Amino acid sequence: MIRRARLSDCQRILVATILLAYGVAHGAEPGLRTVRVGFVNPYTQSAAPLAVTDFWDRLRELGWVEGKNLVIELRSADSQVERFPAIMREMVGTKLDVLVTSGTPAATAAKNATSTVPIVAIGIGDPIGTGLALSLARPGGNLTGLSVQWGDLTGKWLELLQEAIPQLASVAVISNPESPVVRTQQKNFQGIARDRGVKLSFEDVREPGALARAFMQASQAQAALVISDPVTATARKQITDLAEKYRLPTLYVGFEFMDSGGLMAFGVNNHWLYRRAADYVDKILRGANPADLPVEQPTKFDLVINLKTAKSLGLTISPSLLARASEVIE
């Protein structure tokens, strides 16, 4: 005779708690509730980082599956910064559980649009100086995410250009003056350049129509540095064509330029960045408070070098620089 054991109410609660804990620890699917995640892409769809797919892949790995327990709200600002506030207000109206975006201007617009919806911001610069967080350890509001401290990278950009171009003495910085990188780091950048014996000039690009003039003036320098933002990222093919036209060795702060024949790019590993952002979203969906989630600093950086472009410019990239590259395009 088979005897069926009956569990008391306390025993049933204990078993359910153990199974739930086991499921969370082993990446099982979250509960039956459906969540709504909004993602605002500041760029045009063609200029969006390829690593965005890593974000959604990681969410699926963590158990959040569209059509099952996840509703996705997508918006694109098409590289028009002035559209950020309206898009963020619209997204907040969709009753999101988490709002995700990238870059400081978009993060600022999101923060201005809501003080209650949790925000995960990707690749923000100087979160304390811009008022997005009270501190890196405890942001203290409804926004957290991944920060890129541009002040730590400016010296690296110049160092790489100096290694690629012997006796480098002048660099033109091609950027949108409204970019937080330029606005908050220009003074610091000038100081680092002086210490390295490099003279900087800044060529302002607020819209793609200014690029031709900017590169014509930049061609008086020995090299150029292009700071990525919605304007420059959208015009990346035009930019790399202009760099080729003026035979101007150029380092890019954005890997999207390498697909268009850029010479070198150095920055945060985007695949790591977007996967970590998904981890933050998962934590919030499981009950974490963004005010208590530290704004994380990047730990993985990539250097990509295009030897074909180097050859066309008459540059010989040293073996020591090539050895440090994460990827070499031949």
Q: Annotate 154-216 with DSSP letters as a single string.
A: HHHHHHHHHHHSTT--EEEEEE-TTSHHHHHHHHHHHHHHHHTT-EEEEEE-SSGGGHHHHHH
40 within 8 A of 77, measured Cβ to Cβ: yes
167 with 311, same domain: the answer is yes
Please tell me whether residues 191 and 253 are part of one structural domain: yes
Do 193 and 307 share a domain, yes or no?
yes
CATH number at residue 194: 3.40.50.2300
pLDDT tens-place string over residues 106-119 = 999 999 999 999 99
Residue type present at position 72: I
User: Two tokens at 305?
Assistant: 């070098």
Give me the chain's average pLDDT, please.
87
On the question of pLDDT at 17 being above 50, the answer is: no
Residue at 286 is within a domain: yes
pLDDT score, position 13: 41
My answer on whether 259 and 281 are in the same domain is no
Say which residue, 105 or 282, is predicted with more confidence: 282
Q: Is 21 among the domain residues?
A: no
Residue 48 lies in a domain: yes
Contact predicate 115/140, CB 8 Å? no
Which contacts of 112-115 are long-range, i.e. CB under 8 A and separated by 24 or more positions? 112/85, 112/88, 113/85, 113/88, 113/89, 114/88, 114/142, 115/141, 115/142
Is residue 20's pLDDT more than 90? Answer: no
Say yes or no: 122 and 208 in one domain: no
Looking at the structure, do residues 182 and 311 belong to the same domain, yes or no? yes
Residues 44 and 73 occupy one common structural domain: yes
Q: Does residue 320 sit within a domain?
A: yes
Mean pLDDT value across residues 260-282: 94
DSSP string computed for 13-53: HHHHHHHHHHHHHTT----S--EEEEEEESS-GGGS-TTHH
- 210 and 315 in a single domain? The answer is yes
In a domain, 224, yes or no: yes
Residue 89 and residue 134: Cα distance in Å, rounded? 23
pLDDT in tens, 318-329: 999 999 999 999
In a domain, 23, yes or no: no
Residue 9 lies inside a defined structural domain of this protein: no
pLDDT digits (tens, 9 = 90+) for 300-310: 889 999 999 99
Domain count, the chain: 2
- Residue 317 placed within a domain: yes
The pTM for the full model equals 0.81
Query: What sign for the dihedral angle of Cα 158, 159, 161, 166?
Result: positive
Strand order in 199-204's β-sheet?
199-204, 170-175, 223-227, 250-253, 264-268, 301-306, 327-329
pLDDT at 314 over 90: yes
b/e 37-49 (16+ beta carbons within 10 angstroms → b): bbbbbbbeeebbb
Q: What is d(CA 57, CA 152) in angstroms, rounded to the nearest whole number?
A: 30
CA distances from 112 to 6, 89, 105, 171 (A): 55, 9, 11, 36
Contact 144, 119 (CB under 8 A): yes
Over residues 166-187, mean pLDDT? 83
φ, ψ of residue 56 in degrees (nearest 5):
-70, -35
Tokens of 169: 């003495």
For 46-160, strand residue ranges (E) read 70-76, 98-102, 119-124, 143-147
Distances (CA, A) of 249 to 95, 156, 205, 215, 224: 47, 16, 18, 12, 6
Q: Count the Cβ atoms, other than its own, within 10 Å of residue 102.
A: 27
Domain shared by 97 and 169, yes or no: no
Tell me, yes or no, whether 134 and 180 share the same domain.
Answer: no
Tell me which DSSP letter residue 297 carries.
P
pLDDT tens digit string along 37-84? 999 998 776 656 678 999 999 999 999 999 999 999 999 988 788 899
Whether residues 50 and 118 fall in one domain: yes
Q: Which domain holds residue 315?
A: 151-268+302-329
Please count the helices (runs of H) and the strands (runs of E) in the chain.
Answer: 12, 12
Specify whether 222 is located in the same domain as 274: no
